[in-house]
């Protein structure tokens, strides 16, 4: 009896709450309608598509269960190579970006304001110019015969020292992926640097003063105070850089087309080629799902770590 009476009561207040908040819903509507139509719906559609054999002609789309995924991992050697390359790429780029940006921030922070903003501007400039612009320049810089890089290495004595012929950075399987990594590193430092500088600015001076009074050396201060206090920022940088670098694409498309001999194939480049060159939409979508699962689970674990370490 009481239960029956309470039920419509609770229901009414629930609707009441929503009705009272109608203004809030109106405020989010202009963002949420396009969000559902152009972000959520395509996302779900992408998941669906990965179970289909789907080409240009919609009438011929056919449900095939997990066949796309089975094919990806058993019969598509290039995709497996792309998977390995992408992981390798992330393993090279992310640690380098994190270490360099912390190093830069710690060294630059005590310098005068003008020096600080010069360094910050220099490393943010590649972020501003964007991948396409940089890729175009770097193709030229990497050229074996007339590129700037080989010239600088030659006058530095690099080739004489190793006694090897000039390297065609993008044309040789051993160096192609590394060269692309270098380009991606060059535009991945700017943002973390700004974050680390801001985080350093938030550390109280008193901590340092106290440490100095206790006779701590510069190294001790760095390892025992600065680095632990930069931890939240470091984890944030780690997560966002990892997510971004997993999606490496522009450098591959513009600089190597996945070559030489598949040395620079990456997941997103496989997606692009399968969907937009071969018109295999379902197959490309399946690769997208694999990427989503990889990035999602890595981000999840990194966030778990973040949640444990940081009290928000």
Partner 1 sequence: MADFTVSQAEAERLQLQKAIWSARLTRLLWWLAVLAVFVGSLLSLMPIYWMITGSFKIQHDAIAYPPELFPTHPTLQNWEKLLVGMPTLRWLLNSFIAASGVALLGVITSTLAGYAFGKKRFPGQNLLFWLLLLTMMLPKQISLIPLFIMMRDLKWFDTYFALIIPYAAYPFGIFLVKQFMQGIPNDLLDAAKIDGASEFGVFWHVVLPLTKPAVGALAIFAFMFGWNDYIWQLVVTNKQTMLTLPVGVSKLVAGWATIDIGVGMAGATLAFIPMLVIFLLFQDYFVKGITVGAVKG
Q: Please report, as residue ranges, which positions from 59 to 118 form the binding site for partner 1 (by CB under 8 A).
A: 100, 103-104, 107-108, 111, 117-118
Query: Segment near partner 1 (CB under 8 A), from 1-9, 85-93, 221-229, 264-272?
Result: 264-272
298 contacts partner 1 (rule: CB under 8 A): no
Instruction: Report cis status (omega within 30 of 0) of the bond before 150.
Output: no
CB of 8 to partner 1, least distance (A): 18
Considering only the stretches 4-12, 82-90, 136-144, 173-181, report the one whose residues sit in contact with partner 1 under the rule CB under 8 A. 136-144
Per CB under 8 A, does 35 bind partner 1? yes
292 lies in the site for partner 1, by CB under 8 A: yes
Q: How far is the CB of 254 from partner 1 (least distance, A)?
A: 6
Q: Does 263 bind partner 1 (CB under 8 A)?
A: no
Q: Are the beta carbons of 100 and 189 closer than 8 angstroms?
A: yes
Burial 248-264 (b: 16+ CB within 10 A, else e): bebbbbbbbebebeebb
The one segment of 1-9, 46-54, 65-73, 75-83 that binds partner 1 by CB under 8 A: 46-54
Site size toward partner 1 (CB under 8 A) is: 100
For the CB of residue 85, give the shortest distance to partner 1 in the complex, in Å: 16
Residue 33 or 210: the one with the smaller Cβ distance to partner 1 is 33
**φ, ψ dihedrals at 53, nearest 5°:** -90, 110
248: Cβ–Cβ under 8 A, 6 or more apart, which residues?
A: 86, 89, 180, 184, 266, 268
Asked whether position 122 contacts partner 1 by CB under 8 A, the answer is: yes
Q: Closer to partner 1 at the Cβ: 81 or 238? A: 238
- Check binding of 10 to partner 1 (CB under 8 A): no
From the CB of 160, what's the least distance to partner 1, in Å? 15
Interface with partner 1, residue 148, by CB under 8 A: yes
Which listed residue (24, 162, 227, 261) binds partner 1 by CB under 8 A? 24
Site for partner 1 in 156-215 (CB under 8 A): 186, 189, 191, 194-195, 198-199, 202
Q: Is the CA virtual torsion 249, 253, 256, 258 positive or negative?
A: positive
């Amino acid at each position: 009896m009481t239960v029956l009476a309470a039920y419509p009561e609770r229901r009414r207040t629930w609707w009441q709450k929503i009705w009272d908040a109608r203004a809030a819903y109106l405020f989010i509507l202009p963002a949420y309608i396009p969000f559902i139509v152009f972000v959520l719906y395509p996302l779900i559609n992408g998941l669906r598509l990965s179970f289909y054999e789907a080409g240009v002609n919609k009438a011929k789309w056919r449900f095939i269960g997990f066949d796309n995924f089975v094919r990806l991992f058993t019969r598509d050697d290039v995709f497996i190579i792309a998977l390995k390359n992408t992981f390798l790429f992330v393993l090279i780029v992310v640690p380098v970006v994190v270490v360099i940006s912390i190093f830069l921030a710690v060294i630059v922070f005590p310098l005068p304001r003008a020096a600080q903003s010069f360094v910050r501007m220099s490393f943010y400039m590649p972020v501003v110019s964007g991948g396409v612009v940089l890729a175009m320049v770097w193709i030229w810089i990497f050229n074996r015969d007339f590129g700037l890089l080989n010239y600088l290495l030659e006058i530095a004595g690099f080739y004489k020292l190793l006694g090897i012929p000039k390297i065609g950075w993008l044309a040789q399987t051993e160096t192609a992926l590394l060269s692309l990594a270098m380009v991606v590193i060059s535009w991945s430092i700017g943002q973390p640097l700004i974050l680390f500088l801001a985080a350093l600015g938030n550390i109280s001076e008193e901590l340092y003063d106290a440490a100095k009074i206790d006779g701590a050396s510069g190294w001790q201060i760095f390892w025992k105070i600065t680095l632990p206090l930069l931890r939240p920022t470091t984890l944030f940088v780690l997560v966002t850089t990892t997510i971004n670098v997993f999606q490496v694409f522009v450098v591959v498309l513009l600089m190597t087309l996945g070559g030489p001999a598949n040395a620079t194939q990456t997941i997103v480049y496989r997606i692009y080629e399968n969907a937009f060159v071969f018109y295999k939409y379902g197959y490309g979508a399946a690769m997208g799902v694999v990427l989503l699962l990889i990035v999602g689970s890595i981000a999840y674990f990194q966030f778990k770590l973040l949640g444990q370490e940081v009290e928000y």
